[in-house]
Amino acid sequence: MTARRLAVLLLLAFYAACLVFAPAGALPAHAALLPPSLAHPLGTDELGRDMLLALLQAGRSSLLVAGVTTAVALVLGLGAGVGAAIGPPLLDEVLMRLAEIVASLPVLLLAVLVAALFGGSAWNLALLLGLTRWPLLARILRAETQALLAREYLRAAWALGATPGHVALRHLVPNLAAPLLAGAGIVFGGAVLAEAALAFVGLGDPDAGSWGRMVAQGFAVMGLGWWVWLWPAAMLVLVSGLVAVAAAPPEQPASTPR
């Protein structure tokens, strides 16, 4: 089994554990700041909640936000990237300038504005991140599509009268799987960290758990319970690393000299 497949399986297994074992609603309270033990393998936090259950509950929310963010960015990035590559020069110019504008927007300030106007729900945060993360995918897919358009079989398809939609769906999108996966991994990992950072400064969903909020709460009791901030910080590092491995391009076999 390759490292990429193992990383994907671990991510899926972790999310399945979040869905199955994390209870909905408020977690039961025990004695506060209990160190790791057999009864509580990761200890309890300052409110007496079991840290393992809290991590799973927060993981379910964080990974859902990252997944919705990635889906929105993939749809917009794929449409913009392929459309810019196969469309007329004016469309290419408009889409790329729009991508530059969106990429330059301050996400933190936009998050404050969205939270003030519409509330800091997880869905609002996911849509905000998705609507500001697609320019990266658009640039990657535009470059890959332009490289594909230079190939002989695509030139033949154009010469035979194929429409842009037929070329995009039949020839381009299937061959963009590898850059799509790599770009999706970048967006997914970035969304996990962005959601945690926004929750850390108090801009996340107040009704949903978050590893970022757990780290912020753990800093307040760092001298009393090191485990309160360490475990959510470790989960952020672990999930980001697994996403990076899962999205890494496959190694090309070395050519044998003749």
Which CATH number does the domain housing residue 173 bear? 1.10.3720.10
- Check if the beta carbon of residue 245 is closer than 8 Å to that of residue 3: yes
Number of domains in the chain: 1
- Check if the beta carbon of residue 32 is closer than 8 Å to that of residue 38: no
Separation between Cα atoms, residue 150 and residue 134, nearest integer Å: 25
Q: Answer positive or negative: Cα dihedral of 25, 30, 33, 34.
A: negative
What end-to-end distance do the CA atoms of the chain give, in Å? 30
- pLDDT per residue, tens digit, the chain (258 aa), is 688 889 989 999 999 999 898 887 888 888 999 999 999 999 999 889 999 999 999 999 899 999 999 999 999 999 999 899 888 999 999 999 999 999 999 887 888 888 778 877 888 889 999 999 999 899 999 999 888 888 887 778 777 777 777 777 777 888 888 888 888 888 999 999 988 988 888 887 777 888 999 999 998 888 888 999 999 999 999 999 999 888 876 655 444 444
Residue 67: which H helix or E strand, with range? helix 51-86
- 116 lies in some domain: yes
Query: Which residue range forms the structural domain that includes residue 138?
Result: 3-21+41-247
- 256 lies in some domain: no
Give me 54's structure tokens.
Answer: 């809290």
Choose among 192, 187, 205: nearest CA to 239. Answer: 192
- 254 lies in some domain: no
- 255 lies in some domain: no
